[in-house]
A and B are shown apart, each in its own frame.
Chain A
Amino acid sequence: MTLHSPSRNTPDRMNLPFSGKAIRPILVSFPIAYFTAAFVTDLAYWQTADVMWESFSDWLITAGLVTAGFAVMVFVIDLVLGKRSRALAWPHAVGYVLAVLLSLLNAFVHSRDGYTAVVPTGLTLSALVVAILFITGWAGRALIAHHREGADL
């Protein structure tokens, strides 16, 4: 799951100052990693009913939301400063926003006490988030590959 675009090293991009352009792709990757890991720890909890895994999921989803918050902040700063020079890769963007919103919902589900913090709703949401990220990530890459546009998420 990567959001690197083929146009990443084009000269116009290389000349931009160190702002959102360089840091945003990194920031955007963190929540994806956290949410995917939370799905894995949810699966582990489902299989073992060991609360350690549920606790891991809680922190992973929270960390994913916090880093997503940073990514959004950088995105908004870029918008305000008028540094957005190219169109968004829409499948990426829509999928990403949806995954973050569902993860926010998932954080509340995971704040429940005991087994129903994960099974079945939390686990379902975690799986859905991972599915959305992979499908839209793949669709976005395909789109980029086709149009040779920048994945400027």
Chain B
Amino acid sequence: MMRILKITHSATWPRLAIVAIVGLGLAGCYDNGGDPKIQIGANPVLPPLQQYLIPPIRIAKVVPWANETPTVPHGLQVQALATDFEHPRSVYVLPNGDVLVVEGNGPEAPIHRPKDLVTGWVQWFAGAKGKGGNRITLLRDTNGDGIPDVRTVFLDHLNSPFGVALVGQDFYVANTDAIVRYPYQEGQTSISAPGTKLTDLPGGPIDHHWTKSLLASLDGSKLYVGVGSNSNITENGIQAEYERAAVWEVDRASGAHRIFASGLRNPTGLAWEPETRKLWAVVNERDEIGPDLVPDYLTSVQDGAFYGWPYSYYGQHLDPRVQPQRPDLVARAIAPDYALSSHVAPLGVAMYAGADFPASYRGGAFVSEHGSWDRSPLNGYKVVFVPFSGGRPSGPAQDVVTGFLDANNQARGRPVGLAVDRSGGLLIADDLANIVWRVSSKRSEPSQDAAESK
């Protein structure tokens, strides 16, 4: 950029300025990302930061699955558990085995800058503007064949819901602006009782990252809430980030909250690591400083820790887009545990404690990578598995569920929320195709034609 400016000072500036303008159109195309593999694990390679006139962008054309399904490794199988949802984002399994599908999308984004108009078009082209149901659908399999035969609206008229959690007979929904508690009796297929607000959460009017992930503590006394930032990188002002980009700890009895950890740009999925019983999260990092910056990550969430956003990333790598800087916070910023590579957009995490999958999957983390338009070539659009040992990631991420992109890099689906059902199958919400997929071990599954349920 400064180079272009320097040129314009010379005598031939009109002509060169025109060349520079024509060059704008190409600015978004030439910067291709490298091999994502070098950005997976504890020590990702971080290239120098770039700033663009048009950031690299690549929108995957949306095509239907037709009669195809995602692809899984040998020994596993995949089928559509149910279809025709309205933007399913999360899946949750109740103690009796019923599956809840949370259907929601973000509230209408305000137009604060001309760029917001463009962003809206990009989202529309990418199929991300699908209307959210603002409801939760219940699926029940009464005859144990793996295919649900009861389908009811469990809860309706919600406000951009995402996370849900059941503690005893209290069912919590994390709407975009509040946690609401509903009474629940085992076996119930719908809740008509009015909800009681436990606490407000940071919502509109901007609500850039609207999803609120939710996880109850193991003893049930607290709720942990992933609250995303209100911007990419504070372009809506630092005031708009109050108590955002953080994991909240909410007291279940009083509704009081404290910031458990901060500097986590968008913590979209929370899970307990089964061996050490520590809190882990998947986090979406910042955009528009290069196809390989900044890697999204999976990390343990330490009480009181600061993870960098917005001032820095992966420790002390400063972001010049943030002014004024906060050297005091940067000094204590810690690097996350495990990078997933850049712009994969991890939106769900499930620690596998089931018994259905082969033994190598036990104790590790499944991470759903929604994929994004912030990078070329595309990255993500799959569910990966990160093996764990001793409560820490112990190897490279393996692709488990792929095929969300077809051979022509067209998007058939985009994985979001993950859950492990009562018999150990992995459930995947696909918010582009409006399907919930179920992955299971081949030998323990009654033979079902995957296409049958569609």
Q: Which chain A residues lie closer than 8 Å to B17 at the CB level?
A: 98, 101-102, 105
CB of A124 within 8 A of CB of B5, answer yes
Task: Please indicate the chain A residues that have their CB under 8 angstroms from the CB of B24 in the complex.
Answer: 104-105, 108
Chain B residue contacts of A52, Cβ below 8 A: 237
Residues of B with C-beta under 8 A to A49: 323-324
Q: Please name all residues of chain A whose beta carbon is closer than 8 Å to the beta carbon of B54 when the two chains form the complex.
A: 108
Number of interface residues of A (CB under 8 A): 31
Q: Which residue of A lies closest to B322 (CB)?
A: A114
Which residue of B1, B27, B321 is within 8 Å of A113 (Cβ)? B321
A55 interface contact, C-beta 8 A: yes
Name the distance in Å between A41's Cβ and chain B's nearest Cβ.
13
Contacting B234 at CB < 8 Å: which of A101, A105, A114? Answer: A114
Give the distance to chain B from A146, nearest Cβ to Cβ, in Å.
Answer: 23
Of the listed stretches A25-33, A71-79, A115-123, name the one at the interface; the rest are far from the partner chain.
A115-123
**Quick check: which of B107-115, B327-335, B435-443 contacts chain A, the rest being far away?**
B107-115
Contact between A102 and B113, CB atoms less than 8 A apart: no
User: In this complex, what residue of B is CB-closest to A106?
Assistant: B53
Instruction: Using A50-B237, A51-B235 as known contacts, say yes or no to A59 and B113 having CB atoms under 8 A apart.
Output: yes
Assess whether A113 is in contact with B233, with CB atoms less than 8 Å apart.
yes
Those of A46-85 within 8 Å (CB) of chain B:
49-52, 54-55, 58-59, 62
**Total A-B pairs, Cβ < 8 A:** 85
A13 contacts B by Cβ under 8 Å = no
* Chain B min CB distance to A133 (Å): 14
B322 CB, nearest partner CB in chain A, Å: 6
Whether a CB of chain A sits under 8 angstroms from the CB of B21 is yes
Interface status of A111 (Cβ within 8 A of chain B): yes
- B355 lies within 8 A of chain A by Cβ: no
Q: Contacts A101-B21, A121-B2, A125-B5 given: A59-B114 contact, CB under 8 Å? A: yes
With CB as the reference atom, state the residue of chain A lying closest to B119. Answer: A111
Q: A143–B365 Cα gap in the complex (Å)?
A: 74
The 8 A CB mask of A89-104 against B (1 = contact, 0 = none) is 0000010011001101
**Contact between chains at B323 and A121 (CB < 8 Å):** no
Task: Find out whether the CB atom of A113 lies under 8 angstroms from the CB atom of B323.
Answer: no
Closest to B232 in A: A113
Contacts of A37 in B (CB 8 A): none
Q: Any chain A CB within 8 A of the CB of B320? A: yes
**Known: A113-B235, A121-B1. Contact between A105 and B20, CB under 8 A?**
yes
Q: How far is the CB of B59 from chain A (nearest CB, A)?
A: 17
Selected from A50, A97, A108, A114, the residue in CB contact (under 8 A) with B235 is A114
* Contact status A117-B14, CB under 8 Å: no
Binary interface profile of B, 1-39, with partner A (CB < 8 Å = 1, else 0)? 110110010000110011011001001000000000000
Most chain A CB neighbours (cut-off 10 Å) among B1, B21, B52, B112:
B1
Chain A nearest CB from B10 CB (Å) reads 13
Q: Is the CB of A105 within 8 A of B322?
A: no
- CA distance in complex: A128, B2 (Å): 13
Which chain A residues lie closer than 8 Å to B221 at the CB level?
none
Closest to A61 in B: B114
Please name 7 pairs of A and B residues whose Cβ atoms are closer than 8 Å in the assembled complex, sorted by A.
Answer: A58-B114, A62-B114, A98-B14, A109-B1, A112-B52, A112-B288, A116-B321
Top-5 shortest CB links A-B: A114-B321, A108-B53, A113-B235, A115-B323, A51-B237
Interfacial residues, chain A to chain B (CB-CB below 8 A): 49-52, 54-55, 58-59, 62, 94, 97-98, 101-102, 104-105, 107-109, 111-117, 119, 121, 124-125, 128
